[in-house]
Amino acid sequence: MPRVTVTRRLNFNAAHRLHNPALSEQENRELFGLCNSPNWHGHNYRLDVSVAGEVDERTGYVIDLKVLRDLVETHLIDKMDHKNLNVDVDFLRAINPTAENIVVACWRVLEPAVKPAALTKLRLWETDNNYVEYEGE
């Protein structure tokens, strides 16, 4: 059976502050720049969720993309959209919310939720120019 990868894109808007309490205020400012702003700031994030599987003979789908959208909304987007990623999101608690750390945390939540489909890649866009990808490890 052919295996195909399908991808759904979802958007969310959220505030954060990048800060490592183990570093000095000056080191944090130098390292994180505007993202260290003490009173938060926002990003318009995009999350591309890819799952792979065999094409179902009856439906012609790997997974119904509406089903995938609902799963991602329930487990991730509804928890992060219009929230403060440093304080409001249970699965990001105590994490410095860089795009790298966010994408790994999202994977750990979503990977079990999409089974039997196989999560193969998350691509998290923090700006139009910057994205990170995670394929699990």
Residues that bind Ni ion (CB under 5 A): 35
**Set 19, 35, 43, 106: catalytic member:** 35
User: Is the backbone peptide bond immediately before 21 cis, with ω within 30 degrees of 0?
Assistant: no
Rounded to the nearest whole angstrom, what is the least distance from the CB of residue 90 to Ni ion in the complex? 21
Burial 75-108 (b: 16+ CB within 10 A, else e): bbbebbeebbbbeebeebeeebbbbeebbbbbbe
Calpha distance 39→84 (Å, rounded): 11
Q: How far is the CB of 40 from Ni ion (least distance, A)?
A: 9
The residue written with tokens 């012609």 in the block is 60
Residue nearest to Ni ion (CB): 35
Shortest distance in whole angstroms from residue 91 CB to Ni ion:
19
Q: Which of 27, 30, 41, 82 is catalytic?
A: 82
Our CB check for Ni ion shows the closer of 47 and 114 to be 47
Q: State residue 119 phi and psi, 5-degree precision.
A: -70, 125
Nearer to Ni ion, 35 or 51 (CB): 35
Just list the catalytic residues: 35, 82, 126
